[in-house]
Amino acid sequence: MSTDAADTHGKFAQAYNLKFPLVSDRSGKIAAAFGVSRLGGWLPTKRVTFVIDKQGSVRHVIQSELNISRHIDDALDALRALQSA
């Protein structure tokens, strides 16, 4: 999810052949609810990955502004842990 427009998400999903939907939060309401907005939406949101289970509960949070690999690696580890539980 990001505050990018839906058409931008569509192009990104198509370019990377994603098999899951991307959420566009143009209003910034979701970002604010998750505590990742900055200066009321005037600046880009914080880079945070939330691992959410099938029941809708946040199970793991990854925060790193610069280390993208950490988001990927930690999210995969969290998903594997959920799957094996």
Span of 22-26, 35-39, 47-51, 73-77 with lowest mean pLDDT: 35-39
Q: Do residues 51 and 30 both lie within one domain?
A: no
Return the pLDDT at 28: 87
Q: Cα(66)–Cα(55) distance, rounded to whole angstroms?
A: 30
What total number of domains does the chain contain? 2
Q: How many CA atoms lie within 13 A of 77 on its CB side?
A: 10
Tell whether 69 is covered by a domain.
yes
Residue-number span of the structural domain to which 73 is assigned: 47-85
- 30-69 pLDDT, tens per residue? 988 988 888 777 777 788 999 999 999 999 999 988 888 8
Q: How far is CA 1 from CA 10, 55, 77, 83, 85, in A?
A: 12, 18, 20, 23, 26
DSSP letter at 45 equals: P
pLDDT bin (cut points 50, 70, 90) of residue 2 is: confident
Q: Do residues 52 and 30 both lie within one domain?
A: no
Return the pLDDT at 66: 85
